[in-house]
Amino acid sequence: MTYPASKILLGVNVDHCATVRQARFREHAMDHGNEVEPDPVAFALLCEQAGADGITMHLREDRRHVQDSDIRRAHEQINTRLNFEMGCSDEIVALALELKPHSVCLVPESREEVTTEGGLDVVGQKARVADVVTAMTEAGIITSLFIDPDVAQIEAAAELQSPWIELHTGAYANAYYGDGRAAELQVLRDGAIQAHRLGLVVNAGHGINYLNIEEVITIPHLHELNIGHTIVSRALFVGIEQAVREMKAFLI
């Protein structure tokens, strides 16, 4: 089945710029996030100049890449929209409510993960997620729930009146070179249709790259894609502005 292409927004996740910084100057970066290279906020500003529609930063509990000062400076300096990706801990929720970014994306968090691996279990943690969605909504912040393309999780997100979801594309991206690719893509398409029918705004992210993007954009009802690793990787070869422009070209 083919779906008509439409303009999809690009959110650039700059976490891995901070990962590179932390690899060398961890101690200094903790206190002086803007004085050691590469600065993820300066990087985010270049992404915006190249056409990014929004910037995502994930402040993890263990502060392995983005630091508190990065989020604060990004909130002050970026000109598009800050999407604050976060777990549901009291500390991080309080920071989001203080900063009031344009949106928050709620993700699961466990210290062992190299990056976010599975979707948020909205079904299993309904009460806590409901509290956070309500608090964000009352503060005027859009909540997005990062969930697997699973019928029950999508229903739960709608039930909690989260305005947005972000469909986890990781299983599809991992299956890209294997037998499960078409099936995983179909699961995402079905999930997007279900979510749209329930009135949710549908974003997607994780593991999207310059190759699989051509199939990803065939998922219906997509509002925004959040893409990080492949853009930061490409930037090493062509510079961040060119890397963002190349990805944007797929979305026009």
Instruction: Please check whether residue 221 is in contact with residue 5, taking contact to mean a CB–CB distance below 8 angstroms.
Output: no
Q: Which residues contact 126 (CB under 8 A, 6 or more apart)?
A: 156, 160
Residue 58 annotated to the active site = yes
Structure token pair of residue 163? 């305005």
The one among 43, 146, 164, 172 contacting ligand PXP by CB under 6 A? 146
Number of H helices, E strands in the chain: 11, 8
Nearer to ligand PXP, 4 or 185 (CB): 185
Q: Restricting to residues 21-50, which ones interact with ligand PXP according to CB under 6 A?
A: none
Residue 224 annotated to the active site = no
Collapsing DSSP to helix, strand or coil, 171 comes out as helix
Helix ranges (H only) for 101-169 are: 126-138, 151-159
Residue 206 annotated to the active site = yes
Nearer to ligand PXP, 96 or 227 (CB): 227
Q: Restricting to residues 181-240, which ones interact with ligand PXP according to CB under 6 A?
A: 205-208, 226-230
Q: How far is the CB of 1 from ligand PXP (least distance, A)?
A: 25
How distant is the alpha carbon of residue 119 from its chain centre? 12
Going by the DSSP 8-state scheme, the letter that residue 180 receives in this structure is: T
Nearer to ligand PXP, 194 or 212 (CB): 212
Catalytic residue IDs:
58, 85, 206
Where does this chain bind ligand PXP (CB under 6 A)?
13, 15, 58, 85, 105, 107, 115-116, 146, 166, 205-208, 226-230
